[in-house]
Amino acid sequence: MPVKNRFAELHDTITEWRRDMHANPELLFDTHRTSAMVEEKLKAFGCDEVVTGIGRTGVVGVIKGKSTASGKVIGLRADMDALPIEEQTGLDYASTVPGKMHACGHDGHTAMLLGAAQYLAETRNFDGTVVVIFQPAEEGGGGGREMVDDGMMDRFNVQEVYGLHNWPGAPVGKFAIRSGPFFASADLVEIEVEGKGGHAAKPHETIDTTVMASHIVIALQTIASRNLDPVENAVISVTSFETSSKAFNVIPQKVTLKGTVRTLNPAVQDMVEKRLKEIAEGTAAVFGGVARVTYKRNYPVMINSDEQTAFAAEVAKSVTGDCEEADLVMGSEDFAFMLNARPGAYILMGNGPGASVHHPEYNFNDDAIPAGCSWWSEIVEQRMPAA
């Protein structure tokens, strides 16, 4: 079953939706224009139910099959938000909003899921219910978490959930997926180091916070090299080192360190958090100071379920004949919150050559639309075949 004919027919229309979103990017939860457009289209397609305001600006549409006797309910999710980047593509439909840009292709994801929703609402050639999920704030805001916390999964009785992301560098029509941990967790760390400030010429009268904090930065690198099982992965990056002194001759009272932790396994994440606190507090104590660690778990590890991953790969092969095992990704993805709530799978889809995501010259490839729409609709029709 190759790319569906209906999506060849709808290709120009879906491309227009995508380019309209591209010209009008919105950040985080401020996806008001995009959410209103999604709502209007879902209603026009004849969805059985369209609900707004889930996870603030999230939108959900419900499409029932010709029969719902199977009792199955599948969720399909797209993200709607853009990035705070100044676009440099020179496209005739480039961003009209200074400093904002669809540089991750969420315009393409939303347009493709709308296309799949239109087709599914027209044909209803399945036995069960589809819940199309349009989430805001994927780029760091935790929109997926907010929709789940709003009770979305229970409210719509979602049993499985599927998501997709475009992948620059891979050819159009190529899919890639892996079972188990796929995208890393992303945690935020802040360490406030406090000693005793004073004159730089009289260090013996101070408790030097810069020396203390420097030892902490170096010692934190031993978590990955000495505490972590070498077959596991973790990244611990200190990205900011700020002292409370701007002078040449003042030993600062305080130093604030900031950084991020990435892991691919919840047990590793637990270990890193524990060791990070022990090392920071213990090192500060050695020098007579104090370290206060704030460890914020932002996005969890995104874990694909085995059975749904195998199924999603089969569907991808049935659409384009091309699906391989994906590499691990140390970036994060807030679809992880939905996969923590329900079994499901997240797949990557080739975007062709060109700039990578989050680059000012990136653009979603409209040629990929029929494959993405076909994959989503086939997930539904193959998982819940019409009687």
Per the annotation, binding residues for Mn(2+) are 104, 106, 139, 165, 358
In sign, the C-alpha dihedral spanning 169, 133, 142, 178 is negative
Q: Please say which residue, 104 or 272, places its beta carbon nearer to Zn ion.
A: 104
Site string for Zn ion, 123-142 (x = CB under 5 A): --------------------
The stretch near Zn ion (CB under 5 A) out of 53-61, 97-105, 115-123, 217-225 is 97-105
Cβ closest to Zn ion, residue 33 vs residue 359: 359
Region from 44-52, 96-104, 218-226, 302-310 binding Zn ion, contact rule CB under 5 A: 96-104
Part in contact with Zn ion (CB under 5 A); list of ranges 104-112, 143-151, 288-296, 344-352? 104-112
DSSP class of residue 281 equals H
Known binding residues are: 104, 106, 139, 165, 358
Q: Would you say 101 or 371 has its CB closer to Zn ion?
A: 101
Rounded to whole angstroms, the Cα distance separating 207 from 219 reads 19
**8 A C-beta contact, residue 281 and residue 194:** no
Whichever of 73 and 104 has its CB closer to Zn ion, that residue is 104
C-alpha to C-alpha distances, 271 to 31, 191, 226, nearest whole angstrom: 37, 17, 12
Size of the site for Zn ion (CB under 5 A): 1
Nearest approach in angstroms of CB 81 to Zn ion is: 9
Q: How far is the CB of 165 from Zn ion (least distance, A)?
A: 6
Please, what is the minimum distance in Å from the beta carbon of residue 104 to Zn ion? Answer: 3
Residues 6+ apart with CB under 8 A from 146: 29, 55, 56, 58, 137
Sign of torsion over alpha carbons 134, 136, 140, 141: negative
Is residue 348 close enough to count as binding Zn ion by CB under 5 A?
A: no
> Considering beta carbons, is residue 27 or 280 the nearer one to Zn ion?
27
Residue closer to Zn ion (CB basis): 104 or 373: 104
The CB-of-175 to Zn ion minimum distance in angstroms stands at 16
- At 112 the three-state DSSP class reads helix
Considering only CA atoms, which of 257, 247, 259 is closest in space to residue 197?
A: 247
Q: Which two tokens stand for residue 178?
A: 């892996």
Token reading at 75: 């969720």
- Which region, judged by CB under 5 A, interacts with Zn ion, from 15-23, 103-111, 206-214, 231-239? 103-111
Compare residues 35 and 332 and give the one whose CB is closer to Zn ion.
332
CB of 139 to Zn ion, least distance (A): 5
Smallest gap from Cβ 138 to Zn ion, in A, equals: 6
Q: How far is CA 238 from the centre of its chain?
A: 22
Looking at 223-353, list the stretches that DSSP marks H as alpha helix, in order from N- to C-terminal side: 266-286, 306-320, 336-341
- Residue 270 CA to its chain's centroid (Å): 21
Instruction: Kindly indicate which of the ranges 98-106, 229-237, 302-310, 337-345 contains the residues binding Zn ion, using the contact rule CB under 5 A.
Output: 98-106
Residue among 4 and 77 whose Cβ is closer to Zn ion: 77
Strand pairing report for 185-194 and 290-299: antiparallel
Residue nearest to Zn ion (CB): 104
Buried b (16+ CB within 10 A) or exposed e, 73-106: bbbbbbbbbbbebebebeeebbbeeeebbbbbbb
- Tell me the closest approach of the beta carbon of residue 168 to Zn ion, in angstroms: 11
Query: Is 284 among the residues that bind Zn ion (CB under 5 A)?
Result: no
For the record, the structure tokens of 37 come out as 């457009």
104 binds Zn ion (CB under 5 A): yes
Binding residues for Zn ion (CB under 5 A)? 104
